[in-house]
């Protein structure tokens, strides 16, 4: 089958940083679905893993978002059948979705929203899972509106995860949402998705915010904002970040206000095969219903063409430049 991978970590402008390759067709076992990949989207995690280094001569296939068609199933599958249209974010423990055929555990797969094409659906899984888990699981925000009116600050509001978080916070949790954005186009995007206000994360935040927040969701570089968190958060507030710090941080300043800090990693459930792993199947199902009802909108922003090394290099380059809004998608082999 056709796939896109690499053998060594290289700058994205090097033509060997991502290569078109042929690899054997995978075979489903256990609870695996064999999916014919119709579309993929590209995330910052793809670029980070490409430059992370790897063993010489070992082919690595990236890709953590896909929408496609179930072609075959393993003997333990109970949730899907051949012919089902699906969307999912996959696992970082297995070959990625930048391949014509892909194996994925059914417990982290959802049925594709019926109202969306494959390209629009491929933009959703990773960012939806991440935002959903961060807000509803890690910070304990009520998705039924019990926390209505409380204040949420989203740092990095125009990116893929922030774009979903704004919608979930407004449409489900009924929160007052302030999103950080620094350019006219990103500010307009955040407000279009429902943000009540915006702040510029390139400038000091406490002076802009005009009050403490009950929840803070960090979707951008954690290091520059960590020292300001005790000023930004309300007493007994909850903070969650999806970006690791580059150096150790001192948690002691969070103690006076009894602030809770949590990390969100959407690969945790699949990596460690947790008992609640199927929660990702369930939340993708809920999200699909929200999309079909018009409550949640895809953050698809641009289709870069067919799934091939040249177009993936373009997507990686755009993401590494740090100015993308919404999601970049590739469709078809």
SS3 category, 20: strand
Pick the CATH number of 2-124+272-331 from 3.40.30.10, 3.30.2320.30, 3.90.180.10, 3.40.50.300: 3.90.180.10
**Contact at 8 Å (CB) between 161 and 45?**
no
The vertex-196 CA angle with 190 and 197, nearest 5°, equals 75
Residue 33 is inside which H or E element, if any? strand 32-42
Average pLDDT over residues 261-288: 97
* The pLDDT of residue 322: 82
**Mean residue pLDDT across the chain:** 95
pLDDT for residue 54 is more than 70: no
* Beta-ladder partners of 197: 178
User: Could you give the residue ranges of the DSSP H alpha helices within 199-278?
Assistant: 206-209, 223-226, 229-232, 268-271
pLDDT at 325: 86
| Contact predicate 95/40, CB 8 Å | no
Model pLDDT, residue 318 = 94
Under the banding of pLDDT at 50, 70 and 90, the label for residue 295 is very high
pLDDT (0 to 100) of residue 62: 96
Would you call 327 helix, strand, or coil by DSSP? Answer: strand
pLDDT in tens, 251-266: 999 999 999 999 999 9
pTM of the model: 0.95
What is residue 182's predicted lDDT score, i.e. its pLDDT? 85
Residue 4: burial class (beta carbons within 10 Å; 0-12, 13-18, 19+): buried
- Tens of pLDDT, residue by residue over 231-242, are 999 999 999 999
Closest CA to 41 of 319, 321, 285: 319
Residue 196 Cα distances to 30, 92, 185, 209, angstroms: 46, 35, 16, 12
Q: Is the pLDDT of residue 332 over 90?
A: yes
Residue 35 pLDDT more than 90? yes
> Is residue 57 predicted with pLDDT exceeding 90?
no
Q: Which CATH number fits domain 127-263: 3.40.50.720, 1.20.970.10, 3.30.70.270, 3.90.660.10?
A: 3.40.50.720
| Residue spans per domain, the chain | 2-124+272-331, 127-263
Q: Rounded distance, CA 236 to CA 255, Å? A: 9
Compute the average pLDDT of residues 294-321. 96
User: 52-61, 102-111, 158-167, 275-284: which has the minimum mean pLDDT?
Assistant: 52-61
| Per-residue confidence (pLDDT) for residue 55, from 0 to 100 | 67
pLDDT at 92: 93
User: What is the rounded average pLDDT of the residues 191-217?
Assistant: 93
How many Å apart are CA 239 and CA 259, to the nearest integer? 7
């Amino acid at each position: 089958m056709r796939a896109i991978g690499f053998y060594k970590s290289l700058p994205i402008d090097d033509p060997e940083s991502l290569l078109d390759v042929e690899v054997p067709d995978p075979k489903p076992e256990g609870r695996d679905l064999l999916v014919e990949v119709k579309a993929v989207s590209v995330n910052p995690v793809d670029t980070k893993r490409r430059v992370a280094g790897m063993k010489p001569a070992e082919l690595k296939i990236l890709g953590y978002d896909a929408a496609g068609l179930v072609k075959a199933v393993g003997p333990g599958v109970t949730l899907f059948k051949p012919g089902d249209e699906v969307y999912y974010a996959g696992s970082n423990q297995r070959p990625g979705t930048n391949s014509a055929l892909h194996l994925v555990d059914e417990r982290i797969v959802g049925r594709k929203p019926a109202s969306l094409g494959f390209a629009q659906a491929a933009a959703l899984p990773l960012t939806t899972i991440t935002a959903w888990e961060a807000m509803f699981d890690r910070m304990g925000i009520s998705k039924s509106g019990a926390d209505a009116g409380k204040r949420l600050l989203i740092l990095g509001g125009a990116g893929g995860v922030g774009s979903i978080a704004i919608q979930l916070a407004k449409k489900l949790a009924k929160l007052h949402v302030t999103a950080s954005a620094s350019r006219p186009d990103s500010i307009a995007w955040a407000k279009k998705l429902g943000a009540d206000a915006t702040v510029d994360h390139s400038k000091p935040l406490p002076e802009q915010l005009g009050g403490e927040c009950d929840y803070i969701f960090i979707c951008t570089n954690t290091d520059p904002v960590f020292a300001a968190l005790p000023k930004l958060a309300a007493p007994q507030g909850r903070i969650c970040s999806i970006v690791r710090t580059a150096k150790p941080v001192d948690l002691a300043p969070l103690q006076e206000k009894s602030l809770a800090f949590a990390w969100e990693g959407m690969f945790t459930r699949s990596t460690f095969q947790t008992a609640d792993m199927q929660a990702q199947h369930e939340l993708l199902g809920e999200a699909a219903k929200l999309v079909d009802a018009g409550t949640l909108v895809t953050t698809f922003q641009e289709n870069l063409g067919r799934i091939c090394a040249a177009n993936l290099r373009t997507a990686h380059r755009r993401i590494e430049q740090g100015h993308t809004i919404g999601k970049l998608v590739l469709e078809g082999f």
